[in-house]
Amino acid sequence: MIRILIADDHSQTRKQIRQLLENHDGWQVVAEGSDGHEAILHTKAHDPHIVLLDIQMPKMNGFEATRQILETFPRMLILIISFHDGPYFAETSKTLGAKGFLAKVHLANELVPAIESILSGGSHFPGNTALPAAN
């Protein structure tokens, strides 16, 4: 069973993501958080395989949460999601060590393929939607 953590300050977005993921056999959303601090606490408590982090959240944004999670769990797989789109957000996500970036406008069509790519050792960034694992 693949354990997934969702952190987003909008409950409707968390609900939408949960619905998309729970339709996938073998995937389970183990926790949800509404800010970066909760994401870190849930990561420690639930040991997910992958963490989905919104960028703009109260108390601690997704970029800082990514940095702190990877400091403690350097192999954690992180997919950054955001209302914002553009090269700055994708590049910052990549620089911080996230395995992917996805604008929320693409959640319905790209979330499952993005997670599948990341779980198989690849990545997911705009321009090269699913990058396979390096040989």
**Residue the block writes with tokens 């040991």:** 47
Residue 50: strand, helix, or coil: strand
Residue-level pLDDT at 128: 56
∠52-9-117 over CA atoms, to 5°? 15
- Alpha carbon distance 4, 2 (integer Å): 6
All structural domains of the chain: 2-131 (3.40.50.2300)
Verdict on whether the full-model pTM lies above 0.85: yes
Per-position pLDDT tens, the chain of length 135: 999 999 999 999 999 999 999 889 999 999 999 999 999 999 999 999 999 999 999 999 999 999 999 999 999 999 999 998 889 999 999 999 999 999 999 999 999 999 999 999 999 998 754 444 443
Residue-level pLDDT at 85: 87
Report how far apart, in Å, the C-alpha atoms of 48 and of each of 77, 87, 98, 99, 106 are: 9, 28, 15, 15, 23
* Residue 106 and residue 84 in contact, taking contact as beta carbons nearer than 8 Å: no
- Structural tokens at position 114: 């993005």
First vs last C-alpha separation in the chain: 26
- Alpha carbon distance 58, 84 (integer Å): 16
Residue-level pLDDT at 57: 96
- Alpha carbon distance 130, 72 (integer Å): 26
Residue-level pLDDT at 133: 46
